[in-house]
Amino acid sequence: MTRRQRPPRGAALLVAMVLLSVVATLAAGMVWQQWRAVQVETAERSRSQSGWMLLGAQDWARLILREDARSGKATSLNEPWATPLAEARLSSFLAADRDNNADSGPEAFLAGSITDAQARYNLRNLIIDGKVDPLQLAALQRLCTSAGLGPDTASAVATGLLAAQLAESDAAPLPPQQLADLVWLGVDASTLERLANVAVLLPVPTPVNLNTATREVLAAVVPGLDLGSADRLVQARVRTPLRNIAEAVAIVGAGPKLQERDVDVKSSYFEVRGQLRLENRVLQTRSLIERRSGLQVLAIQRQQQASLVPTAQ
């Protein structure tokens, strides 16, 4: 009589351990996938909420500019729109709403500013009737010199803008829509950073605002105006904003040629910048606002950038 052979217990135990490992791995993978989905949904919801908050801040800036247009006065730095909003806790704006529990969510901080886009030289003025205007090119050359840029920078920018506007071949660069697009014309980042302090690229040619431009910009765009006379103009407008070009002529004299094509005392284009900081996330927006006749204030360009706040080690 043969003895019954017993199944190997070691093999059964090994199979059980393998099955247990597989189940544990699958369970851990499912938990990780669920956690990841929750994190993605939370981040997307936070980004969406931040975007809506900044969009509301943009609408608030448009309202300020619309109310400012009702006065019909010259655009100057003495007006409410020129006062920036320092970073403030968003709950302080919502405290007046009794139905809103400001302490129910994470702290959010809002900051923003409105700047006059026509306080800088508009590169769109360079091209007139399909040609580079020599007077405007000379103005940009003076501006580049004051910004510490080489004299060939102005010529390179003008040539690139002309080629993009004519677009006679497939090799022509795309027409830039904003100053940052000048990289398409071969302008490097360091040059673009310096140029951004004194120049802008708007949809149509515009004059420089005498009430908001710096003395360097004024001296560049007005033929015959030196830095000393431009500084007198800046000091005078601090006391009383200029109401027309004639008042500027009375300050600097008849030597400099202040023409309506080059300068004005009112502005139609403004830049609105907003920043919302929520925990370790920062969302920034930049909008180009156009103020048209009939109290129309429209956002014609909008950029958004998100980043993370570095944590302390």
167 and 196 both lie in a single domain: yes
Residue 14 within a domain: no
Q: What is the pLDDT of residues 160-194, one digit of tens each?
A: 999 888 775 555 567 888 999 999 888 899 999 99
126 and 219 both lie in a single domain: yes
133 and 101 both lie in a single domain: no
For residues 273 and 284, the answer to whether their CB atoms sit within 8 Å is yes
| Mean pLDDT of the residues in the chain | 84
Residue 165 within a domain: yes
211 and 137 both lie in a single domain: yes
- Which CATH number belongs to the domain containing residue 52 in this structure? 3.30.1300.30
- Nearest 5°: CA angle at 234, between 64 and 213? 55
298-312 mean pLDDT: 74
145-154 mean pLDDT: 89
Residue 229 within a domain: yes
d(CA 65, CA 54): 17
Q: Kindly report which listed range (47-61, 209-223, 250-264) carries the lowest average pLDDT score.
A: 47-61
123 and 103 both lie in a single domain: no
242 and 201 both lie in a single domain: yes
Structural domain span for residue 209: 119-264
Residue 18 within a domain: no
The pLDDT-based confidence of 313 (bands split at 50, 70, 90) is very low
Residue reference for tokens 């710096």 = 214
256 and 125 both lie in a single domain: yes
What is the reported pTM?
A: 0.79
d(CA 162, CA 160): 5
Residue 34 within a domain: no
* Count of structural domains, the chain: 2
Alpha carbon of 92 to those of 53, 82, 279: distances in Å?
Answer: 14, 22, 16
For residues 280 and 309, the answer to whether their CB atoms sit within 8 Å is yes
